[in-house]
């Protein structure tokens, strides 16, 4: 018979999961306030999970094109929880509010699939975007890959390892944005050994091993309270890029944990500094007209002001440039 301690632990885990789902539902519900429209469940491959959603800002004009963000969600490559593109509408609201076409793909995951299949799907989705996004007013010459946690790992592998994408698609990748991403990590969990095995293949799973200094600009965002992805990941990758004279911006936000970094993109917890850092990075790397309408700017400022004045105190979250290993 299960002990009381085990039953209590199980109840706590169920409560945490329930709360996380409620928070996700709230974030996605509020995201519907955003001014964007979507083309959903578009197939990029033959597998059931080979589908993607495209989110388009409402303020786009006829015959206008916009740069494209391709965002890969996390979830321990499938081992942590079951989430899909539909659970990340709030990410689409964030980037479309800044004026970008936003693509969120699903992909095959553990336990049914391992690293090779995961990366094959991610590459297929990116190739599909390069060849088809023009139909949805996306500028295929300006694509930025982005992701959170395991999704940041996936997107960084596409960015750094030239093996995955065609030469034509690679030249259209203008940058990478990683939130709480593992780029230089020890494979020490049982599921990781399965996902990335055999042991001889471990080095091929580490983004840091594919830096050559010629990669597009990288923006690495990390919370100093993150206990799931260790600081060595952002430190190791940023140092390697700098050593080879590449371009990287690494920022650490005090008081933020692993999930906080993703939540910071949502309306309920939008973090003005993270918003500004991402927006500035994109403005710096992309060639574009000043397409962001005055109404969009007012909306972003209003959302930030409302949260600062009511539910959330962002003053304790400062941002520092991560230049050293300290």
What is the percent of the chain with per-residue pLDDT over 90, rounded to a whole number?
Answer: 75
Residue 307 has pLDDT above 50, yes or no: no
Token pair of 260, please?
């906080």
Helix (H/G/I), strand (E/B), else coil: 244: coil
- Cβ atoms within 10 A of the Cβ of 247, count? 16
Residue 318 has pLDDT above 50, yes or no: no
The CATH code of the domain that includes 260 is 3.40.50.1820
Instruction: Tell me the sheet residues that pair with 68.
Output: 101, 143
Report yes or no on 8 lying in a domain: no
For residues 184 and 305, the model is more confident at 184
- pLDDT confidence bin for 291, thresholds 50/70/90: low
- The total number of structural domains that make up the chain: 1
Contact, 31 vs 93, CB < 8 A?
yes
pLDDT at position 310 is 26
Report yes or no on 139 lying in a domain: yes
Instruction: Please state the rounded mean pLDDT for residues 111-136.
Output: 98
Q: How far apart are CA 282 and CA 287, in angstroms?
A: 9
Report yes or no on 105 lying in a domain: yes
pLDDT at position 26 is 73
Report yes or no on 2 lying in a domain: no
Report yes or no on 17 lying in a domain: no
Q: Tokens 């890969």, residue?
A: 72
Mean pLDDT of the chain: 85
Instruction: Tell me the sheet residues that pair with 179.
Output: 148, 221
Report yes or no on 286 lying in a domain: yes
pLDDT at position 30 is 74
Contact, 94 vs 69, CB < 8 A?
no
pLDDT at position 32 is 62
Residue 262 has pLDDT above 90, yes or no: yes
- pLDDT confidence bin for 242, thresholds 50/70/90: very high
pLDDT at position 187 is 96
Helix (H/G/I), strand (E/B), else coil: 323: coil
Q: How far apart are CA 252 and CA 264, in angstroms?
A: 13
Q: Give the pTM.
A: 0.84
DSSP state of 277: H
Distances (CA, A) of 87 to 72, 74, 92, 202: 12, 11, 10, 30
Report yes or no on 15 lying in a domain: no
- pLDDT confidence bin for 287, thresholds 50/70/90: confident
Residues 6+ apart with CB under 8 A from 17: 81
Report yes or no on 66 lying in a domain: yes
pLDDT at position 231 is 95
Helix (H/G/I), strand (E/B), else coil: 92: helix
Residue 148 has pLDDT above 80, yes or no: yes
Which range of residues forms the domain containing residue 222?
22-321
């Amino acid at each position: 018979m299960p002990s009381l301690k085990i039953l209590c632990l199980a109840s706590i885990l169920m409560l945490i999961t329930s709360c996380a789902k409620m928070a996700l539902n709230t974030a996605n519900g509020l995201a519907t306030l955003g001014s964007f429209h979507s083309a959903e469940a578009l197939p990029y491959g033959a597998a059931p999970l080979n589908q993607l959603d495209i989110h388009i800002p409402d303020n786009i004009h006829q015959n206008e094109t916009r740069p494209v963000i391709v965002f890969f969600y996390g979830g321990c490559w499938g081992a942590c929880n079951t989430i899909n593109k539909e659970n990340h509408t709030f990410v689409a609201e964030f980037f479309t509010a800044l004026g970008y076409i936003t693509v969120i793909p699903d992909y095959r995951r553990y336990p049914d699939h391992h690293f090779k299949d995961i990366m094959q799907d991610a590459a297929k989705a990116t190739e599909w975007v390069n060849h088809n996004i023009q139909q949805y007013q996306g500028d295929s010459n300006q694509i930025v890959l982005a992701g959170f946690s395991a999704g940041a790992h996936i997107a960084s592998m596409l960015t750094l390892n030239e093996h995955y994408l065609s030469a034509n698609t690679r030249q259209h990748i203008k940058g990478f944005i990683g939130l709480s991403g593992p780029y230089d990590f020890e494979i020490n969990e049982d599921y990781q050994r399965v996902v990335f095995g055999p042991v001889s293949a471990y080095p091929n799973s580490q983004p840091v091993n594919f830096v050559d200094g010629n990669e597009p600009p990288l923006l690495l965002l990390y919370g100093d309270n993150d206990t799931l992805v260790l600081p060595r990941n952002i430190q190791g990758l940023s140092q390697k890029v700098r050593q080879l004279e590449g371009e990287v911006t690494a920022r650490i936000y005090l008081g933020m944990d692993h999930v906080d970094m993703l939540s910071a993109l949502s309306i309920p917890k939008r973090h003005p500094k993270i918003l500004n850092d991402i927006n500035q990075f994109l403005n710096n790397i992309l060639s574009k007209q000043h397409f962001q309408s005055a109404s969009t700017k007012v909306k972003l400022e209003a959302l930030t002001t409302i949260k600062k004045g009511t539910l959330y105190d962002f003053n304790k979250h400062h941002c520092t440039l991560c230049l050293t290993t300290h």
